[in-house]
Amino acid sequence: MMRLFICTICTFFGVLTAAQAQEKFSGENYVLVIHGGAGSMSPNRIKGEVEAAYVAKLTEALKAGYAKIKNGESSVEAVIAAIEVMEDSPLFNAGKGAVFTHNGKNELDASIMDGKTRMAGAVAGITTVKNPIKAARAVMEKSGHVMLTGKGAEIFAESAGLEIVSPEYFWTQHRWDALQKILKRDSTKVELDHDEKQTFVPTVKNLDEKYGTVGAVARDKNGNLAAGTSTGGMMNKKYGRVGDSPIIGAGNYANDQVAISCTGWGEFFIRTAAAYNVSAQMKHLNRSVQEAAQKAIDEIGELGGTGGIIALDKDGKVAVPYNTKGMYRGAVKANGEIEVAIF
Ligand code: ASP
């Protein structure tokens, strides 16, 4: 039977220590871990029906991915299934809920990596593919390349038989209103989807929240790992900006030891090769997944960056460090036990 634990513990300041954040995801035998973005959300505001909506969607994503693992399917299938649920929800900054660029468009990035083969695929700046994570997978499996961008990626995705939508599909009122506000405040400021204005009180209908990149890391019955990440990027981004999410080694990475997906201020994750940083520390310094992921976040923090990492190692151990107030996250063990936490 599937059991569900919702963890909403927080410290006096609403920020967990690394140990507290890790506490709820300790032990072994995890098969799937997901995130829905890290940010400066506060427990005073993400509560009631808003919190319930996030918990429900994260749980749905975990169940979708877990069903694949349980069925003996690959970690790649589990990652795709979990991410698809979050991409189809307006709650997250990925797929349907993507933030807007400075020019009022939704430009989506995604990547996937199969730890067994170390094959990888990514798309950047796409506007018409309903599920960017599936486009990333098609690039990995059918293109002979690792990353395709813009129009070329869209033409390829269509030829691979993926569902194509009009760019308007990605238009949502709450993201549009959020862009108008930032344009009024400071039209040159590139805003992370992690910064929360103190005056805003979210409701389910008025989700002006700007965090929500999604990711998943999975371990299948054969012990093979995979990682996937999908995002709308940073609100008000300009000039064809590409973040860390579609960059293998920065926002996403997997091999036969560990799978990693990141969320946060992408430029810092690129500059520190954050996802590969976790793997490299484990391989060369013999660090545990928790130590390595924490050090990777610390390095980002030292440079002034913010965000979070989810990582799952070959033994089913999990790390979920972040240096923001919270990170939407969840995990499921081999026995189907689900944990979801925001703070
Ligand atoms: N990392 C993403 C980017 O910089 C944003 C996020 O995680 O919310 O594009």
Q: Residue 251 and residue 112: Cα distance in Å, rounded?
A: 10
Q: If pLDDT is split at 50, 70 and 90, which confidence band does 111 have?
A: very high
Residue 102 scores a pLDDT above 70: yes
Predicted pLDDT of residue 42: 79
Calculate mean pLDDT across residues 46-74: 95
The helix/strand/coil state of 114 is: strand
Give the distance (Å) from ligand 1 centre to CA of residue 230.
Answer: 9
Predicted pLDDT of residue 197: 43
Spatial contact of 153 and 81, defined as CB atoms under 8 Å apart: no
Q: If pLDDT is split at 50, 70 and 90, which confidence band does 26 have?
A: confident
Edge-to-edge strand list for the sheet holding 225-231: 4-7, 338-341, 326-333, 30-39, 214-219, 225-231, 108-114, 119-126, 147-149
Q: Residue 146 and residue 123: Cα distance in Å, rounded?
A: 8
Spatial contact of 174 and 203, defined as CB atoms under 8 Å apart: no
Predicted pLDDT of residue 28: 86
Predicted pLDDT of residue 6: 54
Angle at CA 151, nearest 5°, toward 149 and 154? 85
**Which residue bears the tokens 């513990």?**
9
**Which residue bears the tokens 């220590």?**
17
Least confident of 34-38, 199-203, 328-332: 199-203
| Residues designated as active site | 213
Q: Is 294 in the pocket of ligand 1 (CB under 6 A)?
A: no
Predicted pLDDT of residue 182: 84
The two tokens of residue 136 are: 């990333």
Ligand 1 test: best mutation among 91, 247, 263, 322, most atoms within 8 Å of CB? 263
Give me the number of domains the chain comprises: 1
Give the distance (Å) from ligand 1 centre to CA of residue 227.
Answer: 16
Per-chain mean pLDDT for the chain: 89
Predicted pLDDT of residue 44: 81
Least confident of 11-25, 227-241, 276-290: 11-25
Predicted pLDDT of residue 99: 94
Percent of the chain with pLDDT over 70: 86
Indicate which CATH number applies to the domain containing 160.
3.60.20.30
Residue 206 scores a pLDDT above 70: no
Residue 252 scores a pLDDT above 80: yes
Q: If pLDDT is split at 50, 70 and 90, which confidence band does 10 have?
A: very low
Please give the number of the atom of ligand 1 that sits closest to the Cα of 241: 9
Residue 86 scores a pLDDT above 80: yes
Q: If pLDDT is split at 50, 70 and 90, which confidence band does 9 have?
A: very low
- Parent domain of 96: 3-341
Predicted pLDDT of residue 27: 80
pLDDT in tens, 157-189: 999 999 999 999 999 998 999 899 888 876 666
The two tokens of residue 125 are: 């700046």
Give the distance (Å) from ligand 1 centre to CA of residue 263.
Answer: 5
Percent of the chain with pLDDT over 90: 76
Please give the number of the atom of ligand 1 that sits closest to the Cα of 193: 8
Least confident of 94-98, 236-240, 251-255, 284-288: 236-240
Residue 11 scores a pLDDT above 70: no
Predicted pLDDT of residue 39: 86
Q: What is the DSSP string of 18-66?
A: HHHHHHTT-SS-EEEEEEEEEE---TTTS-HHHHHHHHHHHHHHHHHHH
Spatial contact of 307 and 290, defined as CB atoms under 8 Å apart: no
Predicted pLDDT of residue 5: 55
Calculate mean pLDDT across residues 307-326: 96
Q: Is 246 in the pocket of ligand 1 (CB under 6 A)?
A: no
Give the distance (Å) from ligand 1 centre to CA of residue 264.
Answer: 5
Q: What is the pTM of this model?
A: 0.90
